[in-house]
Amino acid sequence: MNSNEHHYVGLPTPTASRITDTKHYFQALDNFTRVMAIRPGERVLMLADPLLDPRVIDAVIGIAKSRGATVRIYMETSTQVTEVPEEVHAMLRKADFVVSTWFCSILDPLCIDLRRKGQRWVKITYFRDLDLLHTPQARFPVDLIGEIIRATALRYPADGDFDLHFTDPRGSDFRIHFDAE
């Protein structure tokens, strides 16, 4: 008995990864293409930063090209840009679909207004490395994530200001104030 066989005493032999990896990868790829819901002929804008894995950009470009869409990429020095640069405003207004790594794109008034008018956005805060498609999180059902987000949104008061309040038995007491804006 070699040293590896000692670890499997009483356990079934594990399934070879070459058997499961392919189906897991395609499950993650399907989720990725569903989230990047680029439509034929659309104008896609990526707001990127230098630390974003260039393969993520290439993946978005590949999906866009397969659907007859065009892609423009604007790179800033960091994800922590404090405001959307003026020279990006015209590109944003022309875009149908925006993929952004910038934190300011969540709060910028122009970005908020464009989303209200129907512009579609994907904020890729954590998906910064294409190898993440090989993780269990990349395979988590996208529809279930959507349901969780919608159910959470319904718990927020629709009218007026409110505080989101977090506590725990160890003494944490944290509040975030939200207003109509």
Reported as a single tens digit per residue, the pLDDT across 27-72 is 999 999 999 999 999 999 999 999 999 999 999 999 999 999 999 9
Task: Name residue 109's amino acid.
Answer: P
Taking only the tens place, the pLDDT of each residue in 40-51 is 999 999 999 999
**Cα angle: 171, vertex 173, 174; to 5 degrees:** 150
pLDDT at 135: 92
Taking only the tens place, the pLDDT of each residue in 90-140 is 999 999 999 999 999 999 999 999 999 999 999 998 889 999 999 999 999
Pair type for strands 162-167 and 173-178: antiparallel
Percent of the chain with pLDDT over 70: 94
Q: How far apart are CA 22 and CA 125, in angstroms?
A: 26
Mean pLDDT (whole number) for 143-160: 87
The residue ranges of every structural domain in the chain are 20-178
Q: Which residues contact 144 (CB under 8 A, 6 or more apart)?
A: none
Q: How does residue 11 score in pLDDT terms, banded at 50, 70 and 90? A: confident
Inter-residue contact 71 to 93 (CB < 8 Å): no
CB atoms within 10 A of CB 9: 7
How many CA atoms, within 13 angstroms, populate the side-chain half-sphere of residue 141? 4
Q: How far apart are CA 75 and CA 102, in angstroms?
A: 10
Q: How far apart are CA 95 and CA 98, in angstroms?
A: 7
Q: How far apart are CA 24 and CA 19, in angstroms?
A: 9
Q: Say which CATH architecture domain 20-178 belongs to.
A: 3-Layer(aba) Sandwich (3.40)
Residues 104, 105, 108, 111: what is their CA dihedral angle, to the nearest 10 degrees? Answer: 170
